[in-house]
């Protein structure tokens, strides 16, 4: 795969940028060995992955936010990204459906393959990519329209339904999968912003599912929800993992432990450790990971 022009221009600049990056471990005050760039302990690779990410670097202007990360994301896997604030996990997540494109100063370098297809290839259409890789955001963000229109929006713009009946079916199925059908079936025409926070977030999940994506990215989906709503969303993630690949960014280590197969620990733009979730939380290999999960910083 050839990198596109954007990547090439970013590569030209990268030499200059690398020198200005400070050694990360010092900043945190952790007394552990500094992170070696590009070195990730644990099991970053998988067989026949959905996403194959190699030497990914992200720049915000001159700042290198993501430093040489390589990672595989398996099919129908739930992988969670954890790490202290500002460690780059959200930035990395947003590379997977090119949500960073709208930020002018953001440049992505490296190889990001979805089913062996470079998603940053210059002729790659982001609309198609986002139809395959859906996203749920930190704050529930339903459109200020009816519940029905929220779910139907994606299928409508992609032309997934030819008749009203088909669209109705998609809406019903999506709401059922998101566990919102029973609460919403009698008020499909009422405005979505009138739902509770937890319901809104499930609606956003239904909206993402409605396009029938292969991957769902979740950026701290429960951070604005109460524990009961969180539990419902987590149940949902478990159910959805049967049919989708799910990448979830979370600040809650308990949540990562509950929902994910593998956990990736990010630290100041580095991917420090990736392993089976149980392994990460019981016997982390890297000192930084251990410090973080035992609550010494972060």
Q: Which spans of this chain sit near another protein (rule: CB under 8 A)?
A: 97, 99, 102, 104, 126-131, 134-137, 139, 141-144, 153-154, 157-158, 191, 193, 204, 207-208, 210-211
Q: How far is the CB of 229 from another protein (least distance, A)?
A: 18
Give the Å distances, CA to CA, from 113 to 1, 160, 167, 219: 9, 25, 31, 20
**Which of 100, 127, 113 shows the shortest CA–CA distance to 2?**
113
Q: How far is the CB of 213 from another protein (least distance, A)?
A: 9
How is residue 14 written in tokens?
């990268």
Give the nearer residue to another protein in terms of CB position, either 60 or 153: 153
Q: Which residue has the tokens 């029938």?
A: 212
Three-class secondary structure of residue 252 per DSSP? coil
How is residue 288 written in tokens?
């930084």
Q: How far is the CB of 157 from another protein (least distance, A)?
A: 6
Give the nearer residue to another protein in terms of CB position, either 131 or 248: 131
Give the nearer residue to another protein in terms of CB position, either 155 or 298: 155
Give the nearer residue to another protein in terms of CB position, either 33 or 157: 157
Give the nearer residue to another protein in terms of CB position, either 143 or 181: 143
CB contact set of 281 (below 8 Å; sequence gap of 6+): 253, 256, 257, 263, 293
**Helix axes 164-177 and 197-210, enclosed angle (nearest 10):** 130
Give the nearer residue to another protein in terms of CB position, either 13 or 158: 158
How far is 127 from 212, CA to CA, in rounded Å?
14
Q: How far is the CB of 39 from another protein (least distance, A)?
A: 33
Q: How far is the CB of 296 from another protein (least distance, A)?
A: 34
How far is 169 from 157, CA to CA, in rounded Å?
16
Which DSSP string do the residues of 98-135 spell out, in sequence order? TGGGGSTTEEEEEEEEETTEETT-TT--HHHHHHHEEE
Q: How far is the CB of 90 from another protein (least distance, A)?
A: 12
């Amino acid at each position: 795969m050839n990198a596109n022009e954007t990547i090439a221009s970013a590569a030209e600049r990268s030499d200059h940028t690398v020198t200005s990056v400070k050694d990360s471990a010092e900043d945190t005050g952790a007394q552990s060995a500094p992170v070696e760039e590009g070195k990730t302990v644990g099991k970053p690779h998988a067989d026949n992955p959905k996403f194959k990410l190699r030497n990914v670097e992200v720049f915000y202007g001159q700042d290198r936010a993501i430093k040489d990360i390589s990672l595989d994301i398996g099919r129908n896997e739930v992988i969670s990204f954890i790490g202290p604030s500002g460690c780059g996990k959200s930035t990395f997540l947003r590379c997977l459906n090119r949500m960073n494109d709208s930020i002018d100063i953001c440049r992505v370098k490296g190889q990001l393959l979805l089913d062996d297809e470079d998603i940053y290839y210059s002729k790659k259409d982001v609309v198609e990519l986002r139809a395959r890789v859906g996203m749920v955001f930190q704050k529930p963000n339903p459109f200020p329209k009816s519940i029905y229109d929220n779910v139907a929006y994606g299928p409508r713009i992609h032309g997934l339904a030819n008749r009203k009946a088909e669209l109705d079916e998609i809406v019903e199925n999506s709401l059922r999968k998101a566990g919102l059908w029973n609460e919403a079936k009698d008020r499909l025409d009422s405005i979505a912003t009138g739902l509770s926070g937890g319901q809104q977030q499930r609606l956003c999940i239904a909206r993402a599912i409605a396009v029938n994506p292969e991957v769902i990215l979740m950026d701290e989906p429960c951070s604005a929800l109460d524990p009961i709503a969180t539990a419902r969303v987590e149940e949902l993630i478990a159910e959805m993992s049967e049919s989708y690949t799910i990448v979830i960014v979370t600040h809650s280590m308990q949540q990562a432990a509950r929902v994910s197969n593998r956990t990736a620990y990010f630290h100041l733009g580095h991917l420090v450790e990736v392993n089976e979730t149980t392994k990460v939380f019981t016997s982390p290999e890297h000192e930084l990971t251990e410090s973080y999960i035992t609550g010494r910083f972060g």
